[in-house]
Structures are given as structure tokens and as C-alpha cells.
Structure 1
């Protein structure tokens, strides 16, 4: 069987990657596309951390990702072999992680902050999509998520944003924006704007990859 068509979707925290992916995936049947998220490959270093230790620990570095495991699972999917992966729950003590079974498909989507920085992964991508967002818009999205989903205080969320999130974005993601095939600006809160963009990309893929 021929190699899957591999799409990389990269964007900083608060860029709206999750919503973009949701809209994008709705254009395909389950057997046509599979998704691998970098977030599911964090080393489980937070087990047993105090709240203060968790606040200080920088999760926005490439070294926090089990890159070998990430690359091995991508290789398996490229070779049409299914993978099983434990879901990452972002240190939420109340969330029970699920075991994810990911089956190979003609279109393989890889998403995450460092996928363009990880050279072995970046070199395999047939289509690179960069989700771009104004910093203030991204910050407001990040703060909302950190309050509602992760239980951070405003001070803790701002500490991470200033000291971890923004420096990592500028060092490990922003330099690759210009080499991406598509740059999607996602400052809007209007769903139809993103749906329209994913309509066009998916239509091209259906004609070039799935026919």
C-alpha cells in the first residue's frame, strides 16, 4: 500500500488548533483519516508534584516530549500498523485517562507545538499548516482554558504564559511559519470563518489523495 498523505498542523497555545481540527475532521469518514497529537507524548513527570512545583515546571519545551515514542508511533501508522496510546490528561487529578487505539488511514494528521521543530517528523510532512493568532487573542483563549479545564489561578496562568508559553512559541514554532504550505489566521470567534477554510483544504485533499 502506498504511504499515507501526512499533514502537520502546528500552532501555539490558544491558536485554536483544536477547533480547526474539529472542523477539518468533519469532512472525512473515520476510515479516511487518523490523528496523532503531540500532547499524548508528554513524559509523566508531573506525578506527585506539588501545586507549586507544577506551576514552576516548564511543559513548553521539546525535552518534555517522549520524542522517540512519538516518532515510533508515527512510523507504525505510516507502515499501516495500528497503535495504542494512553491519553494525556494535563495533570488533571479528576480526569481518568483513556487508552486510545489509532488505526492507520490514507490521511495521517500530526498536530502539536514542536512537530516542525522535530526534524525527523517535519521531513515526512506532505502538507504543513500553521495556525496563526494574535498574541492577545491567544492569551485570552489560554486563560479561559486554564481557569475552566485545569484549575489554574490567574497568577499561575500568567506566570506560565510569560515565562514558558511565549518564549517557547518564539523559539520552537514561529521560525517555521514561513516554510509552511498554508498559514491560517485564526483571530475570529466566528465558526463559519474556520469552517470555510477547512472546506477548501478538504476539497483539495479529497480530489488529490482520496480519489
Structure 2
């Protein structure tokens, strides 16, 4: 199998990465594109050091099984299929699924630290950075964590101030100006994101096919 065309997608929490990814992937048949997400490579929480409030910091590069993440990306380069248990963010109501990640001509690598990890950043052919104003991103984060992940409001705010924002400033923001495309996503209008994904998909098809 030829080396896939690798697109790296990263962004601040609450920037709309999930919708962007879904919109982008919908432009292709399943055999044309595959996604590997850093979120499925978190090191189990019980191996981390608790803070005084008994919370764990998941917003550090060391919270990810970096070696396995990189190894699986390289396996996809070699045409191998990856089997990996989904990470459910410690939500006891969710039963983890077994993910089957098949190689394809287009490989999407998604995650907060993909530009910071030098060995992964070097593999990327095209880099997309999604961003949003902090107040808007926080509102989206609260909506997601309180409803979808069942977190406590005070815990969400503590993590935002002490984990999320410092991590963004240290490990993501420095790479924004080096990316091929920066999307400032401050309005909840799906047509805006769809416009960008339409353009990228169209350009990509011409380049690859």
C-alpha cells in the first residue's frame, strides 16, 4: 500500500472538532478514509497522580500512551488494521467499543498534542487548526461534560482553569500559525464548517485521484 495522505486535525476544547471531523469524513466512502484519535490512547486514570481535589490532569502530553499511538499510525502506513478499545472518559454508563481502524488512502490523525509530538507532526501532510474564543469554547465544554460525560460543574470549571487553558497555551497555541488552515469557529452554524470541509475534500480528491 502506498503511503496515505495524512491530515492532522487539532483544536482547542470546544472548538468544534467533533462536528468538523464528522462533516469531513462524510465526504468519503469508508474504504477511502480512516481516522485515528489521540483520545483513545489515554493512559488509565489509576496510573496518574491525583491532585488535592482528587482529580486527574488529562491535559498533559504525558497522559497519552504516546508510543502506542505513534506505533499504530505507522502500522496503518504499512497497511495493517488496528484493533483498539474505545476510551470512554471514565463514564460508567458507557460500554467501550472495540474500534477497528483500517488502512486507507487518506488518514486523519486527530488530537490535542499531535503537533507537539514531533514524531507524529513530521508524518502530517496537511494541518488543520480549529479555534474558538474562550468564552464560547467554555460554554460548549460545559454543555458537553455536564450532559454527555456526567461530570460535576465545579470539577469542569476546575479543569478548565487549571488544566485545559494552560495546556492549550503550552502545547497547541504555539503551532497555530504553522498550520495550513486555521478555522475560527465562534458561531454554531454547521454551514460554516461544511464550507471548509467541502473545500478540503474537493482539493484532496484532485490531489489524490
Same fold (TM over 0.5): yes
The answer as to 2:40 corresponding to 1:21 is no
How far the C-alpha of 1:131 sits from its partner, in A, is 0.5
The answer as to 2:8 corresponding to 1:8 is yes
Q: Equivalents in 2 of 1:9, 1:168: separation in Å?
A: 17
2:56 aligns with 57
1:39 aligns with 39
Q: Equivalents in 1 of 2:182, 2:192: separation in Å?
A: 14
How far the C-alpha of 1:153 sits from its partner, in A, is 2.0
CA contact (8 A) 2:13 2:164 kept: yes
After superposition, residues 105-184 of structure 1 pair within 5 angstroms as 105-184=104-183
List alignment gaps of at least 5 residues for structure 1: none
CA RMSD of aligned residues (A): 1.8
CA contact (8 A) 2:10 2:111 kept: yes
2:202 aligns with 203
Closer, same or farther: CA 55–182 of 1 in aligned 2, 3 Å: farther
Q: Encode CA deviations 1:143-190: one digit per residue, 9 max, x unaligned.
A: 001110122222111000000000000000000001101111111111
How far the C-alpha of 1:54 sits from its partner, in A, is 7.9
- In the alignment of these two chains, the number of paired residues is 209
CA contact (8 A) 1:24 1:199 kept: yes
1:92 aligns with 91
Deviant stretches of 4+, over 6 Å:
none
Q: Encode CA deviations 1:107-141: one digit per residue, 9 max, x unaligned.
A: 00000000000000000100000001111111000
The answer as to 2:72 corresponding to 1:81 is no
3-state DSSP of counterpart to 1:73: helix
CA contact (8 A) 1:146 1:157 kept: yes
Tell me the TM-score normalised to structure 1 length: 0.95
Closer, same or farther: CA 13–162 of 1 in aligned 2, 3 Å: same
List alignment gaps of at least 5 residues for structure 2: none
How far the C-alpha of 1:55 sits from its partner, in A, is 5.3
1:30 aligns with 30
Closer, same or farther: CA 27–82 of 1 in aligned 2, 3 Å: same
